[in-house]
């Protein structure tokens, strides 16, 4: 089966973790793993209670300086005919708006059982999707 944009985005949305790529103020890249949920043409992530060295997260500072962001989900197996990846590019914003927090929290709690007992309470990173790129082993 060859992926189209919709199938690639659906495959992306089902993944448990994505790598979020942002750009530091200096121009250097910064990549971190995140939990996320997709609704329509938006990807949502929230700062949660998992242990962190600081609450002044680099990804939030980066988005304020450079809102362009990429998220990557990939699948690896020793059988290379099953390899694939999907990258979502977009414009990121950080929000603590109540409506955005509610939407993001609801989506994340639906996807991750861990968030049902301990809902994320930090700011929301939303990425408005501007492009979807994918690759899979041609079968």
Q: Yes or no: is domain 5-136 CATH 2.60.40.10?
A: no
Q: Where are the alpha helices (DSSP H) in 17-132?
A: 58-65, 98-111, 114-117
Q: Could you tell me the pLDDT band of residue 139, with boundaries at 50, 70 and 90?
A: low
Q: How far apart are CA 44 and CA 34, in angstroms?
A: 10
| pLDDT tens digit sequence for 73-114 | 999 999 999 999 999 999 999 999 999 999 999 999 999 999
What pLDDT shows up at residue 56? 76
| pLDDT tens digit sequence for 10-24 | 999 999 999 999 999
Q: Kindly list the domain boundaries of the chain, sorted by start residue.
A: 5-136
Q: Where are the alpha helices (DSSP H) in 3-134?
A: 5-14, 58-65, 98-111, 114-117
Residue 2: is its pLDDT beyond 60? yes
Please list the residues that pair with 34 across neighbouring strands: 18
Q: What is the pTM (predicted TM-score) of this model?
A: 0.92
């Amino acid at each position: 089966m060859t992926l189209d944009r919709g199938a690639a985005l659906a495959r992306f949305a089902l993944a448990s973790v994505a790598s979020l790529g942002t750009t530091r103020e200096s121009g250097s890249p910064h990549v971190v793993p995140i939990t996320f949920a997709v609704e329509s043409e938006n990807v949502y992530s929230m700062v949660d209670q998992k242990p962190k060295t600081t609450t002044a997260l680099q990804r939030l500072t980066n988005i304020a300086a450079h809102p362009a962001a990429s998220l990557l989900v990939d699948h690896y197996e020793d059988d290379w005919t099953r390899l694939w990846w999907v990258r979502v590019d977009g414009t990121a914003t950080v929000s603590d708006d109540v409506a955005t927090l509610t939407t993001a929290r609801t989506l994340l709690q639906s996807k991750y059982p861990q968030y049902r007992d301990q809902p994320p309470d930090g700011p929301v990173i939303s990425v408005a999707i501007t492009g979807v790129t994918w690759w899979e082993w041609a079968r």
